[in-house]
Amino acid sequence: METYLVYVDAANNSNKFWSAKVEQNNLTVQWGRVGYQAQTKVHSCSSHQQAAFKYHKLIAEKLMKGYRRSQPIIDSSCEVYEMKRAIELLDFLRCYVEQKKFNAVYIDLLNQYLKIVPTPLGMQIDPYTIYNTVEDVDHQRSLLTSLLPNESIKTEQSAVSKSFRCWMSGNDSLL
């Protein structure tokens, strides 16, 4: 049993992870800032069942606090739908970056993206400079797209849907 969770609130300088793993009678918990050395605590339990119970209880507590299931590393073993969602979010973010429109909707989209793709951002997050240019966003998009399993999935995004996303980003009330 193993779980990796993240909590992101870029506007409030929060970009942290929490993970837990049950091995025999031990529950190992790690936590910290994404991209930095983790703190670790090992809970020695009297049985595997007790370790599993504590594991599920701690996960439920973290999820109630706003953490989201994620993965520590994005690679080709990740769920395709998660990578496609991250690419979709980057397409929306690209429109905001292109327009230099760094508003609350941009921050929300950025937080959603960072929950799917945990990214080391340093100790002081400036959400308005994570993606300075559309080239920054395009580069990130190309990295994610390269992980998708086949070419048909990679090219399904049409120019029409990109234009629609940019139009939507200009109409925040519709998002």
Confidence of residue 74 (pLDDT cuts 50, 70, 90): confident
Q: What residue segments make up the domains of the chain, in order of their start? A: 2-69, 80-174
pLDDT at 159 over 60: no
Report the DSSP beta bridge partners of residue 2. 21
State residue 154's pLDDT score: 44
Residue 149 pLDDT level (bands cut at 50, 70, 90): confident
* 26: nearest Cα among 6, 11, 5, 43: 43
Average pLDDT, the chain: 88
CATH pick for 2-69 out of 3.40.50.720, 1.10.10.60, 1.10.150.650, 2.20.140.10: 2.20.140.10
Q: State mean pLDDT over 74-103.
A: 91
Q: What is the pLDDT of residues 2-54, one digit of tens each?
A: 999 999 999 999 999 999 999 999 999 999 999 999 999 999 999 999 999 99
Q: What is the CA radius of gyration of the chain?
A: 18
Q: Which two tokens stand for residue 2?
A: 């193993």
